[in-house]
Structure 1
Amino acid sequence: MGQHRNALRTTAIGTVSAALLAGPAVGAAPATPMAQPQARAQAQSTAADVRFVDIEGDGGTVLKANVVTPAGADGSRRYPVIVLPTSWAMPQTEYLAQAKELADSGYVVVSYNSRGFWQSGGYIEVAGPPDIADASKVIDWALANTPADPARVGMAGVSYGAGIGLLAAAHDKRIKAVVALSGWADLINSIYSGRTQHLQAALMLTGAGYVTGRPSPELQRIMSDFLTSNLAREEEMLEWGKRRSPAAHLDKINANGAAIMLGNAWGDSLFPPNQYADFYEKLTGPKRLEFRPGDHATAEGTGLLGLPNDTWTSAHRWLDHYLKGTDNGVDREQPVRIKSRSTGEYESYPDWKSLAATERKIELGGTKKIHANIDSGANGGVIFLSSILDQFAKLPPMASIPLLPRSFAAVWQSERYSSKQMVRGTARLHTTVTSTKESGTLVAYLYDVGPLGLGKLVSNAPYTFHGTTPGKPFAVDLELFSTAYDVPAGHRLALVVDTVDPLYIEHNPSGAQLTFSSSAADPSSLTVPLREK
């Protein structure tokens, strides 16, 4: 079967994975420097106090941490406190530049190495119950050992730290504000969307976990089942992921009422934007959502180096308002703020659904049959590399649409647009599929096609099915990954569907064929959030 051929590629990909994740995947990749407000650039002349300490976490596990307090803090006054769990595979010094900046502006900051990584004790639990208990233990320690104000407690973090912060807000009522950057709300819908394993993402996370930490026996078993497509244990895997998903604890998060800011990149290879946007819409407390071009943690990367950075500027404004009471207007601004991949300009909206206020359908008429197991040449690129090239050089993955072999790729195109079109939000595919086998995988790609037929990737998403009756049609509904992209005048959009992409594990048996059809009773279409600029 196709997944076995994918498994043969894992050794080579895994070698690259571990090396890459130690860099940009966990929050250290470069991002374009942005000007910070003058008020944020002011620094105190006396340096903040930095201490390295051991904190006793859940079950007595030792967590390596650093504490940064405002210069001159002598216990005569209380300061708001920010707790920063480290990103996956990152050392405890990850946030030191940001911690010093926060301390200079009047915060106590405690950053700690998440359990199972580097010199902290325990095993990697992937934001399991011990990790959430650790966050509360660190808050306890901060209130007992620093001039921290128990009424003004915040959590912030990148990637793994973001997920832990959101989950902690569901279980600890003391947390009043959260900044979650490049994190996840739905773990399963991040690396198993469309019931398809995100191969390169999973290999990167697993490889880096082994290099920098100690995966728990449970994690080792879960990832082995995941990468080998052990469907007999799928329900266990889904339940494991659900317990670690803030979306599953939404009622508690809303009841506790923490002010939550979410930030992510359009091309995040680990945690695609859809799951964050869905989660954002269901939050009932103070909230903010920001999306920028790039990949996992690249939008906030320069801030971790102490350089000017838009994402961290927003994060500080959010914390200042909800923990210090600063009247900086962040609560009166439109809460959804995005940056276009094409123009680099910011846009603001009152809510997520307003991005896609206008939708158009591309009719997917006719019948198209393709053979599985062959990569047509359409693909989502390479994890991290492709989205970073798109971020800095406006060079997304490309394909010559006229040259794609129609035996292996189904292609539909829109009319040419006479004016510039703005894609904002989430495109949705609805079609009818008939397979010659009971299982299979398809990958849908949306391209911006120029006059010469060269297509630039706008979005994509995978879809896998199991247990269908060969020869019997079934409906497929698939959300492509959300984005903000401008289609130039004179261009058209194209939908391409094939069955192989190096980003994903495919489940196409040998000799499989897929037929895509449309009927008057149930027409196939791609609904695109599109409006004229």
Structure 2
Amino acid sequence: MRRSLPLLLAALVALVPAPPAQAAPGFAVSYETIPGEGGTPLRAFVVTPTGRGGGPFPLLVMPSSWGVNNIEYVGAAAKLAYRSGYSVISYTSRGFHDSGGEIDVAGPDTVADVSRVVDWGLAHAHGDPARIGVAGISYGAGQSLLAAAADPRIKAVAALSTWTDLARSLYPNETVGTQAVELLLAAGRLTGRPGPVLREAEAAYREGRFADVLPISPPRSPATRVSSIKAAVMIGNAWNDGLFAPSQITDFFEALTGPKRLMLSPGDHATAELFGAAGLPDEIWASVGRWFDHHLAGVANGIDREHPVQVKPNNGGGWRSFPTWAAATARTETVPLAADRIHAGWPTIAESGTVLVSGALQGFLNLPVGVSTPLVDRGAAAVWRGPVQWTATTVSGTPRAHLTVTSSAARTTLYAYLYEVNPLGLGALVTHKPVTLAGTATRTVDLDLEPVVWNVAAGNRLVLVVDTVDARYQGSSTLGSTVAFGADSWLRVPLG
């Protein structure tokens, strides 16, 4: 691995426009071992500017993603050092690859590592103590937000494909996100050394006791510490993120009180910013650079005068901006849902797709998860058709299904899918959400689907499908049981 690192580094740095020989400014790269919390060795690429004097320079610290090593951000780091004069440290998170320690799932030691790397950067990388930023993707993004809550020296954050509430992300409405959990567990075992918290969490999950894992969530969730975050925070996530869905992001963003920016765009987990981390052209990373330039380097680039909410429709179109996330919804329409009764435990062709794959296809090729609504088994799924939209419109915000539900089983999982459907009955998945219900008593369920901005073509309609089986999740529906929906149910659609 160590012998291959120089080759990988050379390949990534080659992507960044470098100055001619002897020209300035430029950048230098070194491979270092940095003592983390408790002295745990963290392996890092340190990219420093050259031809700009001896500093001090704005310091950026970038913890790696789950299962990824320190080469993840080297391309972006070289750009930031060369073009803007940052000193950047891209390091492998504790417990992974050639860094020491064990994976503690963004526990106290992993979060404290960020501060120890900052200490090292100030002492050895010409960092400026008054201009410190942290950035990361996925696991690195969550660490960045948690570190900003704990370390007041951090003045700016860029968190991409982040979680803000671990339980809401992996256990939405008491429904285990099986594909996401299995992916994370497999990556942890293959690339790192799981610590006691992760080993115990996996054991509980395997034994069907996922609720026992929930106590680890609050201390590892930035949403718990949002009031302590004083840094300027930029968040970039994808509409179809299969690990960290956007609803927990929009709620967290609204709770932030300092300078903030939210960018939501098509794609799946880490796909929107993946190439930018390698130094390739990327809209998200371009905004990251502008964010740090303004909040750390004092550049008057106008980003502070732009609307803080920037969204791209999930099925194509340019960026739209709003002063708040709530302002993305201009009005709502309510569609009444007729009474229905279905048999639970039977799969239908209505599905949410596959984690990472489906969202990536949506983001890169505009290929949504599809369905033929005439072929959806009406015995196993309730299907409600909205009116034809005779003029083009936009779903913009968080759709809500208000359902009166009576189940014959002790536990039932419902999956709600909102589709845009053409006159032939062919549908594209707009958004979805699961919910698991306990007990047989009739109850009212207000189910908020995931937030989305989606353009609906003239002549198409919205269709809501609710069934009880989805391969992405670990459901609780009992085969042969029934679910009845009352006539006072409705769907509220947010429109832009």
Instruction: Give TM-score, length-normalised by structure 2.
Output: 0.94
Could you tell me which runs of 5 or more consecutive residues in structure 1 were left unpaired when the two chains were aligned.
Answer: 1-39
Alignment CA distance shift 1:272-1:445 (3 Å): same
The DSSP-based 3-state class of the residue aligned with 2:447 is strand
TM-superposed deviation, 1:43: 5.8
- 1:529 is aligned to 494
Of 407, 427, 430 in structure 1, the residue corresponding to residue 399 of structure 2 is 427
The one-letter code matched in structure 1 to 2:485 is F
The 5 A counterparts of 1:202-221 are 202-221=181-200
The DSSP-based 3-state class of the residue aligned with 1:95 is helix
- 2:122 is aligned to 143
Partners in 2 of 1:373 and 1:216 — Cα distance? 36
Are the counterparts in 2 of residues 142 and 148 from structure 1 also a CA contact under 8 Å?
yes
Say whether 1:356 aligns with 2:311. no
Say whether 1:456 aligns with 2:432. no
- 1:437 is aligned to 409
TM-superposed deviation, 1:194: 1.3
Partners in 2 of 1:435 and 1:43 — Cα distance? 67
Partners in 2 of 1:63 and 1:125 — Cα distance? 15
- 1:498 is aligned to 467
TM-superposed deviation, 1:386: 1.1
Q: Cα deviation per residue 1:424-465 (whole Å; 9 max; x = unaligned)?
A: 111111111111111110100000010001111101110012
Alignment CA distance shift 1:73-1:327 (3 Å): closer
Alignment CA distance shift 1:336-1:43 (3 Å): farther
Partners in 1 of 2:92 and 2:364 — Cα distance? 31
Partners in 1 of 2:34 and 2:484 — Cα distance? 59
The one-letter code matched in structure 1 to 2:76 is Q
Partners in 1 of 2:206 and 2:157 — Cα distance? 33
Q: Cα deviation per residue 1:232-260 (whole Å; 9 max; x = unaligned)?
A: xx2x422201111000011211xxx2000
The CA RMSD over aligned residues, in Å, is 1.5
The 5 A counterparts of 1:13-52 are 45-46=23-24, 47-52=26-31
Are the counterparts in 1 of residues 335 and 490 from structure 2 also a CA contact under 8 Å?
yes
The 5 A counterparts of 1:375-386 are 375-386=347-358
Q: Cα deviation per residue 1:26-73 (whole Å; 9 max; x = unaligned)?
A: xxxxxxxxxxxxxx9896845411111111111121111111110136
Q: Cα deviation per residue 1:309-367 (whole Å; 9 max; x = unaligned)?
A: 100000000000000000000001111001112233110111100111211111112x2
Of 153, 166, 173 in structure 2, the residue corresponding to residue 194 of structure 1 is 173
The one-letter code matched in structure 1 to 2:246 is P
TM-superposed deviation, 1:373: 1.2
Of 266, 278, 282 in structure 1, the residue corresponding to residue 255 of structure 2 is 282
Are the counterparts in 2 of residues 82 and 153 from structure 1 also a CA contact under 8 Å?
yes
Of 385, 399, 405 in structure 1, the residue corresponding to residue 371 of structure 2 is 399
**Number of aligned pairs?**
477
- 2:3 is aligned to none
The one-letter code matched in structure 2 to 1:514 is V
Say whether 1:411 aligns with 2:411. no
Q: Cα deviation per residue 1:473-509 (whole Å; 9 max; x = unaligned)?
A: 0111211111111111111100000000000001112
- 1:312 is aligned to 285
Partners in 1 of 2:169 and 2:43 — Cα distance? 29
Say whether 1:473 aligns with 2:442. yes
- 2:142 is aligned to 163
Of 47, 66, 73 in structure 2, the residue corresponding to residue 88 of structure 1 is 66
Instruction: Give TM-score, length-normalised by structure 1.
Output: 0.87
Q: Cα deviation per residue 1:151-193 (whole Å; 9 max; x = unaligned)?
A: 1000001111100000000000000000000111111111111
Of 485, 488, 497 in structure 1, the residue corresponding to residue 457 of structure 2 is 488
Partners in 1 of 2:233 and 2:105 — Cα distance? 21
Say whether 1:509 aligns with 2:478. yes
The one-letter code matched in structure 2 to 1:527 is R
Are the counterparts in 1 of residues 158 and 235 from structure 2 also a CA contact under 8 Å?
yes
TM-superposed deviation, 1:291: 0.6
Are the counterparts in 2 of residues 73 and 147 from structure 1 also a CA contact under 8 Å?
no
The one-letter code matched in structure 2 to 1:131 is T
The one-letter code matched in structure 1 to 2:213 is M
Say whether 1:62 aligns with 2:31. no
Q: Cα deviation per residue 1:207-234 (whole Å; 9 max; x = unaligned)?
A: 0000000111221111232344216xx2
The farther-off stretch of 399-408 and 276-285 is 399-408
- 2:227 is aligned to 251
The DSSP-based 3-state class of the residue aligned with 1:416 is strand
- 2:11 is aligned to none
Task: Give % identity.
Answer: 47
The 5 A counterparts of 1:98-109 are 98-104=76-82, 105-109=84-88
Are the counterparts in 1 of residues 316 and 366 from structure 2 also a CA contact under 8 Å?
no
Say whether 1:225 aligns with 2:204. yes
Partners in 2 of 1:68 and 1:392 — Cα distance? 31
TM-superposed deviation, 1:390: 1.4
The DSSP-based 3-state class of the residue aligned with 2:305 is coil
Partners in 2 of 1:326 and 1:473 — Cα distance? 58
The DSSP-based 3-state class of the residue aligned with 2:409 is coil
Are the counterparts in 1 of residues 349 and 375 from structure 2 also a CA contact under 8 Å?
no
Partners in 1 of 2:202 and 2:218 — Cα distance? 15
The one-letter code matched in structure 2 to 1:405 is D
Say whether 1:175 aligns with 2:154. yes
The one-letter code matched in structure 1 to 2:287 is S
- 2:215 is aligned to 239
Q: Which has the higher contact order (CA 8 A, sep 6+)?
A: 1
Could you tell me which runs of 5 or more consecutive residues in structure 2 were left unpaired when the two chains were aligned.
Answer: 1-15
